[in-house]
Amino acid sequence: MDDKIFLADAFAEKRGHLRAVAYRMLGSASEAEDAVQETWLRLARTDAGGIDNLGGWLTTVVARVCLDMLRQRKARREDPLDTEGPDEVADDAPAVDPERELAMADAVGLALLVVLERLAPAERIAFVLHDMFDLSFDAIAPIVERTPVAARQLASRARRRVQGSDEAGMPDRARQREIVDAFLAASRGGDFAGLLAVLDPDVVFRADAAAARLGSAPELRGAQAVAQNFKGRAQVARPALVDGAIGLLIAPMGKLRVVLALTLDSDRIIGIDAIADPERLAQLDVALLA
């Protein structure tokens, strides 16, 4: 009984912070409260003795709950969000840096609306956790089911849109399309040198369990290994936007089987994530490019 009381008291101390995190992700006070309540239920079902950092654990869990809620909302095409101001939730969050908190309070209203209306769920989570709550990309990566490098790119894209500079990134998108087209052409034509030209020397390829069952290697590192893997392949792959970033999809006979989420840096591909798990595919925002 004493352990339960201690756990309840510890959660109560973190509740304001969790509501602030959830509200910035969801933009709805009622949904934020639901997310916090679900976090408490998960904590109550967990052996708290194995949790070294309760604050970090709770933040991770509430972020995952919010990500699920955002994906469900997107699938249901819900109505616009509540109109409560951000201060309603932020006021009871623990202060860290007064000047930083004041600056954030001034910006969060418009920024939050932009994030909620224009960003894919994974972008929202990465942006909020990193830019507003200082979580590292190593910590964010497992929440959004990406590599740390890909999580950094999610937050960067979100930041550009929030700051109103999305249009400035269009030339980069055109250049990325050129790189992806070159990758596809080299892969289909068995052009090993062409593949090496667009792959970073330290490129990493990862496949989820479902993609591995289809014949993909679980993980490959280095341009030589990745180029060899893709040489003569990708015959039916098509360029697409995957959660707002350029990537590839494989949909034989019109049925989506695999998505290749690409991470680019400058003029090279530095990461390729093969996703074939049906549940994960259903959660991705995928759109074919002409």
Full set of structural domains in the chain with CATH: 2-165 (1.20.140), 169-288 (3.10.450.50)
Ranges of residues in the chain whose predicted pLDDT is under 70: 1-3, 74-118, 164-171, 290
pLDDT score at 201: 93
Cα 218 from Cα 211, distance rounded (Å)? 8
pLDDT score at 95: 40
In DSSP terms, which residues pair with 88 in a beta bridge?
none
Which one, of 11, 17, 24, lies nearest residue 92 by Cα? 17
* pTM (2 d.p.): 0.58
pLDDT score at 137: 92
**Beta-sheet strands, E only, within the chain:** 199-207, 219-221, 237-242, 245-250, 258-265, 268-275, 286-288
pLDDT score at 188: 94
Which one, of 244, 260, 163, lies nearest residue 208 by Cα? 260
pLDDT score at 86: 42
Cα 68 from Cα 81, distance rounded (Å)? 16
